[in-house]
C-alpha cells in the first residue's frame, strides 16, 4: 500500500483518522493500539510474507535492549549489542545482496542464480532498529520495557517503508505523552497534501519522460539535448518522489502527535557537493555520521585515517542503496568529489552562480549512474549527454521540449524555499489584510491540489515510490 493509492487515501487513512481522533477518547493506550494495529495492517497489505522477519527482529531488539540495560558487565553489554547488530546485518545481506552475489558467481563459474524477493523498506527499518540498540548501549536512551511500544516505534506506518530514518530518542517521550492540537492537525494535513502533490502531480509525470529516454538509450543514439532532458527529468523525479514521501510521513506523524525531524532542505539550491548532502536525505546522512563516521574517529584523526573514514561512509552509502555496481560507483564518485572539496584542491574559486551550476551538473550526472541498470549503460548514457551521437537534437527532442518546458519550469520553482520567501515577505510587510489573504490563497490552493491529486490517483495507474526498493 502506498500513500498515493486510492486504497490508502479513500479507505485506510480516513479509517485510522476517525478511530484515532474519536471525540472524548484520550486514553494513550487506546491511541497507541490503533496506530499499532493499522501499522501492522499497512505492512501486511503489501508484504504479508515478511511480517514474521520484522516480528523476530523487533523481539530480538527488545530482548537485547533489556539485557544491555540490566547487566553491569561491559563485556555482556557488547555481547547483546553484537547479537542484535549481527541479526540485522545478516538479514540485510541475505535479502539485499545474496541474489546479486549469486549472479556475479554465476557469470564466473556458471552456478545457478538465486532470486530472493526484497522486503519493502528493509534498509529503513533495519537502520532504525540498529540505532535503537546502539543508543541503549551508549546509555543515550533507556530501553523500552514494552515490546508493543517498541513495535509501534519500528512499524509506525508513516515512516515504515521509505523513511525518514527516525531515531528512538526523538520520539521516546512522544510514545506516552503527545497532544494533537487543531494547529498540529492542520499543519500535518497541509504537509501531507504538499507531499502528495509532489508525488502525483510532478514525480509520476516526470517519471514517464525519464523512463522513456533511459529505456530507449541502449537501442538508439540519443541526441545531446534528449539525453539531458532525460537526466534532468530523473533528477527532478527522484527529488519530488522521495521528498514527497518524507513530507507525507512528517505530515501524517504530526496528525497523530509525533514530530519528526526534517529529511530534506532544498538540496537543489546547493553550491557544493558537501552542501548538497547536508540537504539531501538528512536522516541517512546523520545516521552514517553518528553510527559510522564518528565511531571510526571522524575528522579528529590524521589525514590518511580521515580519508579512510570518509571512504567507509561513502562505500557503505552506495552499498546501502542497493546491490548493483552502479550504486557502488555512485558512492565512490561522491567520496572523491567530497574529498576534493574538503581538501580545497581547486586553485581558484568560482562565483556562487557558477558553483551552483557546476554542482547541479555533477549531481545530475551522478543521478544517471544511480538510475542506470549497469555501469555500461550509465557510461553510454553519459556519453550521449556529452555528444557521443554528434547530434544536438532531432524531432523527438523538440517533442520532449514542448512537453517538458512548462513541467521543468514548475519543478525548478518548486525546488526553491518558497515558504521561507513568503514568510520573509509577510514579516517585512506586516499587514492583517495581507496575512489573511495569504492564508485564504494557501487554503484554496491546498484544496485544489488535493482535488487534483485525488482525480489523478483514482483515474491513474499504480506508481510505487523509488525508495521502496531500498
In this predicted structure, the answer to whether residue 470 has a pLDDT above a threshold of 60 is no
pLDDT of residue 228: 95
Within 322-394, residue ranges assigned H as helices are: 325-342, 352-371, 375-385
Closest CA to 166 of 265, 65, 250: 250
Distance, in Å, from the CA atom of 85 to the CA atom of 67, rounded to the nearest integer, reads 14
Q: What is the tens place of the pLDDT at every residue in 180-220?
A: 889 999 999 999 999 999 999 999 999 999 999 999 888 88
Asked if residue 317 lies in contact with residue 284, where contact means CB atoms within 8 angstroms, the answer is yes
| pLDDT for the residue 463 | 66
461 band by pLDDT with thresholds 50, 70 and 90: low
Residue 468's pLDDT is 58
How is residue 124 written as a grid cell? 529503513
Percentage of residues in the chain having pLDDT higher than 70 = 96
**Residue found under cell 487515501:** 9
What are 301-327's pLDDT values in tens digits? 999 999 999 999 999 999 988 888 999
Confidence of residue 408 (pLDDT cuts 50, 70, 90): very high
Q: What residues have CB less than 8 Å from 22, skipping those under 6 apart?
A: none
Q: Where do the structural domains in the chain lie, given as residue ranges? A: 6-178, 184-469
Question: Which of 100-109, 113-122, 289-298, 451-460 tops mean pLDDT?
Answer: 289-298
Average pLDDT on 143-170 reads 90
Q: Is 321 noted as a catalytic residue in this protein?
A: yes
pLDDT tens figures, 88-115? 999 888 888 888 788 777 767 776 777 7
Q: What is the mean pLDDT of residues 433-456?
A: 88
> Which residue out of 110, 266, 321, 429 is catalytically annotated?
321
User: Stretch 341-351: mean pLDDT, rounded?
Assistant: 78
pLDDT at 348 over 80: no
What's the whole-number average pLDDT of the chain? 89
In the chain the first and final C-alpha atoms are separated, in Å, by 16
Q: What are phi and psi of 466, to 5 degrees?
A: -55, -45
Per-residue pLDDT tens digits for 218-233: 888 889 999 999 999 9
pLDDT, residue 105, reads: 79
Task: Write down the pLDDT at residue 385.
Answer: 92
Predicted confidence band of residue 262 (pLDDT cuts 50, 70, 90): very high
Q: Measure the CA–CA gap between 43 and 51, rounded to whole angstroms.
A: 7
Least confident of 250-264, 378-392, 416-430: 416-430
Q: Is the pLDDT of residue 429 over 80?
A: no
pLDDT at residue 311, as a whole number: 95
User: Is it the case that residue 51 has pLDDT exceeding 80?
Assistant: yes
Average of per-residue pLDDT across 132-136? 94
Amino acid at each position: 500500500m502506498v500513500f498515493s493509492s486510492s486504497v490508502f487515501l479513500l479507505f485506510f487513512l480516513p479509517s485510522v483518522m476517525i478511530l484515532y481522533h474519536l471525540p472524548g477518547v484520550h486514553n494513550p493506550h487506546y491511541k497507541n493500539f490503533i496506530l499499532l494495529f493499522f501499522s501492522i495492517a499497512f505492512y501486511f497489505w503489501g508484504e504479508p510474507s515478511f511480517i514474521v522477519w520484522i516480528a523476530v527482529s523487533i523481539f530480538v531488539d527488545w530482548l537485547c535492549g533489556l539485557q544491555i540495560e540490566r547487566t553491569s558487565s561491559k563485556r555482556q553489554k557488547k555481547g547483546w549489542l553484537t547479537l542484535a547488530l549481527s541479526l540485522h546485518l545478516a538479514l540485510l545481506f541475505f535479502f539485499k545482496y545474496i541474489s546479486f552475489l549469486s549472479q556475479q558467481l554465476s557469470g564466473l563459474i556458471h552456478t545457478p542464480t538465486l532470486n530472493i524477493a526484497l522486503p519493502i523498506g528493509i534498509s529503513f527499518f533495519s537502520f532504525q532498529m540498529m540505532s535503537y540498540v546502539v543508543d541503549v548501549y551508549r546509555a543515550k536512551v533507556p530501553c523500552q520495557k514494552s515490546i508493543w511500544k517498541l513495535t509501534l516505534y519500528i512499524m509506525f506506518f508513516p515512516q515504515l517503508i521509505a523513511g525518514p530514518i527516525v531515531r528512538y530518542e526523538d520520539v521516546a517521550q512522544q510514545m506516552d505523552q503527545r497532544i494533537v492540537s487543531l494547529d498540529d492537525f492542520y499543519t500535518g494535513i497541509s504537509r501531507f497534501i504538499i507531499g502528495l502533490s509532489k508525488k502525483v502531480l510532478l514525480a509520476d509525470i516526470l517519471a514517464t519522460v525519464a523512463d522513456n529516454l533511459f529505456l530507449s538509450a541502449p537501442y538508439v543514439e540519443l541526441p545531446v539535448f534528449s539525453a539531458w532532458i532525460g537526466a534532468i527529468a530523473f533528477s527532478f523525479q527522484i527529488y519530488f518522489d522521495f521528498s514527497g514521501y518524507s513530507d507525507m510521513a512528517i505530515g501524517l506523524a504530526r496528525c497523530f502527535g509525533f514530530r519528526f525531524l526534517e529529511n530534506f532542505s532544498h538540496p537543489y539550491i546547493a553550491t557544493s557537493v558537501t552542501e548538497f548532502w547536508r540537504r539531501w536525505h538528512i536522516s541517512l546522512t546523520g545516521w552514517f555520521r553518528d553510527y559510522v563516521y564518528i565511531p571510526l574517529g571522524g575528522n579528529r584523526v590524521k589525514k590518511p585515517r580521515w580519508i579512510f573514514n570518509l571512504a567507509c561512509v561513502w562505500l557503505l552509502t552506495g552499498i546501502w542503496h542497493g546491490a548493483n555496481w552502479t550504486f557502488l560507483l555512485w558512492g565512490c564518485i561522491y567520496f572523491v568529489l567530497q574529498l576534493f572539496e574538503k581538501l580545497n584542491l581547486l586553485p581558484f574559486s568560482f562565483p556562487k552562480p557558477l558553483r551552483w551550476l557546476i554542482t547541479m551538473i555533477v549531481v545530475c550526472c551522478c543521478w544517471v549512474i544511480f538510475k542506470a541498470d549497469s555501469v555500461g549503460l550509465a557510461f553510454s548514457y553519459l556519453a550521449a549527454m556529452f555528444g557521443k551521437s554528434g547530434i544536438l537534437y532531432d524531432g523527438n527532442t523538440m517533442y520532449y521540449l514542448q512537453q517538458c518546458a512548462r513541467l521543468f519550469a514548475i519543478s525548478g520553482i518548486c525546488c526553491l524555499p518558497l515558504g521561507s520567501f513568503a514568510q520573509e515577505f509577510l514579516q517585512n510587510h506586516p499587514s492583517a489584510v495581507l496575512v489573511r489573504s495569504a492564508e485564504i490563497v494557501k487554503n484554496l490552493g491546498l484544496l485544489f491540489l488535493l482535488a487534483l491529486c485525488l482525480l489523478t490517483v483514482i483515474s491513474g495507474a499504480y506508481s510505487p515510490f523509488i525508495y521502496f526498493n531500498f
